[in-house]
Amino acid sequence: MNKFVIISGCSGGGKSTLLQELKRRGYTVIEEPGRRIVKEELESNGTALPWVDAPAFARRAITMALSDRAAALSSDNWVFFDRGLIDAAAALQQSTGEAILEELGQSHRYHHRVFLTPPWPEIYATDKERCHSFDLAISEYSRLLEVYPSLGYELSLLPKVGVKERADFVLNELAE
């Protein structure tokens, strides 16, 4: 059974908070490549930012996600990925038309169940690393609703509940 689990969905939908709770419970959590890249690029005045050079940003995210997967291979327990390879490949395909999603999506599989955070306007907020609008976040979410099933994944939409209940929901779904 594949122990690599993707938590994806709408930006600002509570993914990072959920992943912090799963980490607190002892699970391995891989931080979102996109946030790490944005932070690095802002600190170095780089241009591989989604709002400056989306293709360069997506290519870096793919490289980082592949490295994250390789580093997590030795884990015997669930490993939770905050977005990752599929999201990055979908972003690259969206911005350039490069047909990379199918190849990467099939050659680097994750657990068959992918958890998506739905749009949650009551908690959505921008920050230094997330400066896009809620409408853009919804557009990205809509794309992911199509991408994951097209690659053979089953989607579980996370309920809009407290973080502990969300973590319980994820772990219960994986136990089935």
pLDDT mean across residues, the chain: 90
Q: Count the domains in the chain.
A: 1
Q: pLDDT category, 1, cuts 50, 70, 90?
A: low
SS3 state at 70: helix
Interval 25-36: pLDDT, tens: 999 999 999 889
Q: What's 45's domain CATH number?
A: 3.40.50.300
Q: Which of 89, 77, 85 is nearest to 29 (CA)?
A: 77
Neighbouring residues of 29: CB distance < 8 A, sequence distance ≥ 6? 19, 20, 22, 23, 79, 80, 82
Identify the domain containing residue 54 by its residue range: 4-175
Neighbouring residues of 42: CB distance < 8 A, sequence distance ≥ 6? 49, 128, 129
Would you say residue 120 has pLDDT above 90? no
- Better-scored residue on pLDDT, 8 or 138: 8
